Amino acid sequence: TPIAELINSLPKAELHLHIEGTLEPELMMSLATKHDIALPYSTIDDVRSAYNFDNLQSFLDLYYLGASVLRDEDDFYRLMWDYLCKCKEDNVVHVEMMFDPQTHTERGIGFEVFMPGFTRAMHQAEQEWGQSSLLIMSFLRHLSEDSAFETLDAAMPYLPMIAAVGLDSSELGNPPEKFARVFAKSKSLGLLRVAHAGEEGPAEYIWSALNELDVHRIDHGVRSVEDTQLMTHLASKQMPLTVCPLSNIKLCVFDKMVDHNILTLLDAGLLVTVNADDPSYFGGYLNDNYRALAANLPITHEQVRTLAENSFKASFLDDVQKAHWL
């Protein structure tokens, strides 16, 4: 089989996906019109041509701006529904999605607006084609520890709908240990844990996510190659890394896809997975990410199969559910 067919036909899980990062320019413009919001773009092409990023922060500025068009429950429903339809198309049979409550609560839109919108779409997709999905509540690390605690408090009535907590936004200068107490409280509430680390930040931040936040996965983690002891540790623990190839190129973590280190990580025995991160901003959904690897790196059919299998191994599915896909 050609590798493109293999990529399409393999059942896959997606583990690093920001639902706010799936907001397509078409929906952004139509919601701006619906709510009479002024955006610094006149056309869809204007939006797309603004997506030329130098680093993580230059992306985040446009990501928070884009999210400002999400106002009512139907907007959040539509955002989630469109993404889950894409999962069906890409054979993404299970997804663990991050959402950023503070992106919305900071502008006066509460859990009672976005949670029912998200969960209505998730239940509908589950009913219509058996789509499996769960939510990861991600704290914005550029905001204070107090703000994260307030967010956890506001989430209390919705905890049955939330599987895990995460940590995203501006990494440099906001190390994992800033949120050690929030993650400890989250753990005591029965929440699982992930954190972005080693995307722009150093390998030390990966150690800190492991030791101070007690995470089950590292989001990104590509800078682990800078610390051989860390590489050995990640391999021996089979600690998953949720790698996002197109994201890393758009945010200049690597110059070109041919320079990406994903095969180095795989060859070192790490539990590597492929993910889309913020597909509408980075130019592709999950299968686009696999195709970009196949087009630029000497990746084998066997390695593509391993990456897809790893996505289930690294997931929060229980052993019976994992066995179904492995």
Active site residues: 199
200/277 with CB nearer Zn ion: 277
Which helix (H) or strand (E) segment holds residue 15: the answer is: strand 12-18
User: Which pair of tokens denotes residue 249?
Assistant: 């190129």
CA-based R_g, the chain, Å: 18
Q: Any idea how long the chain is?
A: 326
Query: How many other CB atoms are found less than 10 A from the CB of residue 111?
Result: 19
DSSP run (H or E) holding 207: helix 203-213
Burial (CB count <10 Å: 0-12, 13-18, 19+), residue 12 = buried
Residue showing the smallest CB distance to ligand HPA in the complex:
168
From the list Zn ion, ligand HPA, none, which binds 133 (C-beta under 5 to 8 Å, kind-based)?
A: none
Tell me the β-bridge partners of 162. none
Any contact of residue 14 with ligand HPA (CB under 6 A)? no
Q: Residues 253, 229: contact at Cβ < 8 Å?
A: no
- Residues 266-325 binding Zn ion (CB under 5 A) are 277
**Residues 267-286, interacting with ligand HPA (CB under 6 A):** 277-278
Least Cβ distance, residue 272 to ligand HPA (angstroms)? 16
Q: Cβ 5 to ligand HPA, closest distance in Å?
A: 29
User: Binding residue per annotation — 104?
Assistant: no
Q: Which of residues 52-81 bind ligand HPA (CB under 6 A)?
A: 56, 63
Region of residue 269 (left: phi > 0; alpha: psi -120 to 50; beta: else): left
User: Is the CB of 6 or the CB of 252 nearer to ligand HPA?
Assistant: 252
Binding partner of residue 169 among Zn ion, ligand HPA, none, CB cut-off 5 to 8 Å per kind: ligand HPA
Is 196 marked within a binding site? yes
- Count of C-beta atoms within a 10 Å radius of residue 99: 22
Check the annotation: does 267 bind a ligand: no
Cβ proximity to Zn ion: between 168 and 212 the closer is 168
Nearest distance in Å: CB 199, ligand HPA: 6
> Tokens in use for 170?
């501006």
The residue among 15 and 56 lying less far from ligand HPA, judged by its C-beta, is: 56
Q: Note the residues at the interface with Zn ion (CB under 5 A).
A: 277
Residues belonging to the binding site for Zn(2+) are 16, 18, 196, 277
